[in-house]
Amino acid sequence: MAEKSTTALETPLRDQLDRLAALPPGSFISLYLDLRPDHNGQRNHVQTFLKNSFDEQLRTMTGDTHVAFENTLERIRGYVNSTDLTATRALAMFASTTGDVFEAIPLDVPIEHPSMHLGSVPHLYPLARLNDQYPRYAALLADTNSADIYVFALGSTMRRESVTSDKMRRTRMGGWSQARYQRHADHWHKLHMKDVVDALDKVVTQERLDRIVVACDEVAKPILMEQLPKHLAEKVIDIVNVDVKSIEQHELLKETIDALRREDAKSDAEHVQRMLDAWRAGGLAVAGIEATIRALDMRQVEELLIAGRPDRVVGPADELIAKAQQNSARIRFIEDDSLLADVGGVGALLRFKI
């Protein structure tokens, strides 16, 4: 089965996280908004959340700090009110109250818990977690006559390629025995799958993807797997059985994301155990907040393992995320709280020891 890449280089929000993690300390508002309409199709809850959050913060401020914060809030309000966010499910915003930094990131995936944060650096934990939950991957939807190859990331379709075989329809079959017809069909099905695999290989290589989810029927499955070369087969994390002809694109996205989540739950446990074993043996791993921060400062970290909820991290979670992003380390959020509970919610696999 495929492994998650241990690099931060090819993730959906790489550029945004890199920019935000590299900002020098200052005064920042970090805002995460749930833009999904309510049961009446309205988004009044967004303005209510903004007003309540802003008022709560303003009550604690005076003088120049109050003025700077209020000016930044007006800029945020202006963006939300003037931008067409109809098709957007969530919004992450980062604004400096003392400088020019203002970045808005519309998202096609939900933010379950809207929040506002004030701090000396942007609050990147929720954004980095979305980056981990909705990775870039290939989804292959195939039968014996056609195929679609999708590249999904952050709940959106980034690319789509189609492969169609009409060779069987162009061939005259009159007078053939059933056995001869079946041999002929099998031959063209294999040729079709070879075309599909060639197209898949091209997409995976060009997009630098490390995970593939296959969706096909039982007839196509053995033909496809026979044609897959080793380097592609190793990237396949699951094969889901679907009705290829009728499945909608949003249903395919859900099916394949669910497959990723199942695999992630399994591989999360394996990675944590690998980290704990190496740490206890004095190998290429550290555990706990202080040792992990030291390793990040020394640029030793290959993969940061951190609890899926910041309140489960005994220490500065945002600092860990920012340092890992600055070091191009892989950030893996562990959704099962119990796995990292004994080490304060954080540990790391290392590139080297000092």
Above 80 in pLDDT, residue 147?
yes
Q: Across residues 303-314, what is the average pLDDT?
A: 95
* Residue bearing the bigger pLDDT, 168 or 226: 226
> Which range, 152-166, 178-192, 246-260, is most confident?
246-260
* Residue bearing the bigger pLDDT, 127 or 174: 127
Q: Domain spanning 137-247: which superfamily?
A: eRF1 domain 2 (3.30.420.60)
Q: Is CATH 3.30.960.10 the classification given to domain 24-120?
A: yes
Other Cβ atoms closer than 10 A to 8? 23
Q: Which pLDDT value is given to residue 6?
A: 39
The one-letter amino acid code at 159 reads: R
Above 90 in pLDDT, residue 175?
no
Q: Across residues 318-329, what is the average pLDDT?
A: 93
Above 90 in pLDDT, residue 2?
no
Nearest to 25 by CA among 290, 303, 301, 316: 316
- Banded pLDDT at 10 (limits 50, 70, 90): low
Mean pLDDT, the chain, as a whole number? 89
Cβ pair 333, 131 in contact under 8 A: no
Q: Across residues 1-8, what is the average pLDDT?
A: 43
Above 70 in pLDDT, residue 23?
yes
Q: Which helix (H) or strand (E) element contains residue 265?
A: helix 249-280
Strands 236-241 and 212-216: parallel
Q: How many residues does the chain have?
A: 354
The pair of three-digit structure tokens given for residue 156, joined into one six-digit string:
């959106």
- Banded pLDDT at 213 (limits 50, 70, 90): very high
pLDDT digits (tens, 9 = 90+) for 114-125: 999 999 999 999
φ, ψ dihedrals at 107, nearest 5°: -130, 145
Per-domain boundaries in the chain: 24-120, 137-247, 265-350
Q: Which pLDDT value is given to residue 177?
A: 53
Q: Which pLDDT value is given to residue 95?
A: 96
CATH topology classification for 265-350:
60s Ribosomal Protein L30; Chain: A; (3.30.1330)
The one-letter amino acid code at 329 reads: A
Above 70 in pLDDT, residue 102?
yes
